[in-house]
């Protein structure tokens, strides 16, 4: 009755779109944004705004272009007043990732032109969301702690400004630089699950708000952006470096997955994990507080020793936890911070999708019964 093809579970190895935003070599552990290796952004302390510009325009900005672009983003940091009312009404126990998902969806109500898909309008909404996500997260964080949200400023860069909105005080240079590097490293990563979700939604010609709301939902799961808080809980459970080997042994014997380990594409160390590891080490040296570095390194060594035979190594989420933790950021903000970075890549992909759209509509392999008959209620017998 149906023409059948067999299922490719998890779409592993399936190429569903073309992109010029990032290239990944999973065997060699390489990642490049628009052709530029990821390490170069980290080494040159590229500001997050520069990477956003690169991903949206596919070229590096001049100094003047970057200044204009950064000012344009900063000018859109304020939330429409009703958004603050909504945030105040949310339960203080809500997961910040769920808050972000709902807030992004609600933001569409206060946009006069949310559904128009011209390149200019899509870029306008992309800039607005990129600028407002940190404001939403910081506002909810403060409300949850019984503090009033602080009004956005225009004079700080993206990362520093987020830290300012969290605490109400200008952050130290070291913390702002650490968060900026994190945001740069997570900004884009090919056809990952949340980007795919965004492109599927955009493929129906639905609006940017819908696509980003869906992407946030996909990012929330532990197999994707939900891993870093779980890495933190694991590190806390391990407690001390000398206990790591036995802890990992026991976890694997109990068939548990080691969070922050394994990747669908990388079959060696994730290049972002290598950079984050060095950053965690550096923060430890600068602060004379080696606990998180030594603990993470011990868990990584114990896990990789046992799992590398299966091609499983640490991924970006592993060292995200000790990095953001040592910057003093709360554990349940780790995944929202991933979203705050990845909005750049999501929206870059939406621009590509809308510019050359075709409905994304794969097939399912039918494995249910065939040639059955409809039986009227009175003739049906209960089964099971
Ligand atoms: N710890 C232990 N074993 C793991 C593992 C982990 N973190 N990740 C995968 N494996 C094992 C699986 O048990 C499976 O083993 P088997 O073949 O003996 O059954 C094998 O590796 C393949 O796993 P599979 O789930 O098919 O791989 P995937 O490509 O679908 O999954 C992830 C990729 C990322 C979802 C998976 O590695 C994972 O769950 N990692 C932990 C969560 C995480 O860090 N997520 C963030 C990703 S950036």
- Mean pLDDT, rounded, for 19-23: 98
Give dist(CA 298, CA 310) in Å, integer: 19
Give how far Cα 171 sits from Cα of 50, 105, 161, 177, Å.
Answer: 20, 30, 8, 10
22 SS3 class: strand
Q: How confident is the model at residue 97 (pLDDT cuts 50, 70, 90)?
A: very high
Per-residue pLDDT tens over the stretch 276-303: 999 999 988 988 889 999 999 999 999 9
14 SS3 class: coil
The two three-digit tokens of residue 352, written as one number: 């590509």
Average pLDDT, the chain: 96
Per-residue pLDDT tens over the stretch 143-155: 999 999 999 999 9
> What's the farthest any 2 CA atoms get from each other in the chain?
78
Question: What lines the ligand 1 site, CB under 6 Å?
Answer: 10, 222-224, 227, 257-264, 307, 310, 312, 315-317
- Give the pLDDT score at 1: 53
- Give the pLDDT score at 3: 64
- Mean pLDDT, rounded, for 261-272: 96
Does pTM top 0.85 for this prediction? yes
Which residues neighbour 123 within 8 Å (Cβ) at sequence distance 6 or greater?
A: 56, 351
Atom 39 of ligand 1: nearest residue by CA position: 223
Residue 327 carries which DSSP code? T
Mutate to test the pocket of ligand 1, among 262, 265, 272, 309 (most ligand atoms within 8 A of CB): 262
Concatenating the DSSP letter of every residue in 173-222 gives HHHHHHHHHHHHHTS--TT-HHHHHHHHHHHTT--HHHHHHHHHHHHTST
Atom 30 of ligand 1: nearest residue by CA position: 264
Find the range with the poorest average confidence among 208-222, 232-246, 254-268, 283-297.
Answer: 283-297
Atom 2 of ligand 1: nearest residue by CA position: 257
- Mean pLDDT, rounded, for 175-192: 96
Å from CA of 15 to ligand 1 middle: 20
Q: Which active-site residues does the annotation give? A: 224, 263, 317
- Give the pLDDT score at 75: 98
């Amino acid at each position: 009755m149906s023409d059948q093809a067999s299922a490719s579970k998890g779409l592993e190895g399936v190429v569903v779109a073309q992109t010029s935003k990032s290239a990944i070599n999973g065997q060699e552990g390489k990642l490049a944004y628009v052709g530029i290796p990821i390490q170069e952004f980290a080494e040159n302390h590229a500001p997050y705004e520069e990477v956003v510009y690169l991903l949206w325009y596919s070229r590096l900005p001049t100094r003047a272009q970057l200044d204009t672009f950064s000012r344009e983003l900063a000018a859109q940091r304020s939330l429409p007043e009703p958004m603050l009312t909504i945030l105040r009404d949310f339960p203080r126990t809500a997961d910040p990732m769920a808050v972000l998902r709902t807030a992004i969806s609600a933001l569409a109500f206060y946009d006069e032109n949310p559904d128009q898909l011209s390149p200019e309008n899509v870029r306008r909404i992309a800039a607005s969301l990129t600028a407002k996500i940190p404001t939403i997260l910081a506002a909810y964080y403060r409300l949850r702690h019984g503090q009033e949200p602080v009004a956005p400023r225009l004079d700080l860069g993206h990362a520093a400004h987020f830290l300012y909105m969290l605490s109400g005080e200008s952050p130290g240079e070291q913390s702002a630089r650490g968060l900026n590097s994190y945001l740069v490293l997570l900004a884009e990563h090919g056809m990952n699950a949340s980007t795919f979700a965004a492109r599927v939604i955009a493929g129906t010609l639905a609006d940017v708000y819908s696509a980003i709301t869906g992407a946030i939902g996909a990012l929330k799961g532990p197999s994707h952006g939900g891993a870093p808080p779980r890495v933190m809980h694991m590190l806390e459970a391990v407690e001390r470096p000398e206990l790591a080997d036995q802890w990992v042994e026991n976890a694997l014997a109990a068939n548990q997955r080691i969070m922050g380990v394994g990747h669908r594409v990388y079959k060696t160390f994730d290049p972002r994990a290598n950079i984050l590891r060095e950053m965690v080490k550096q923060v430890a040296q600068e602060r004379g507080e080696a606990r998180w570095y030594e603990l993470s390194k011990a868990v990584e060594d114990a896990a990789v020793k046992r799992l590398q035979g299966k091609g499983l190594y640490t991924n970006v989420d592993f060292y995200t936890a000790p990095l953001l933790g040592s910057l003093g950021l709360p554990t349940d903000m780790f995944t929202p911070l991933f979203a705050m970075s990845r909005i750049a890549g999501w929206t870059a992909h939406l621009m590509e999708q809308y510019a050359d759209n075709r409905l994304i509509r794969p097939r399912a392999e039918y494995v249910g019964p065939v040639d059955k008959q409809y039986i009227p209620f009175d003739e049906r017998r209960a089964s099971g």
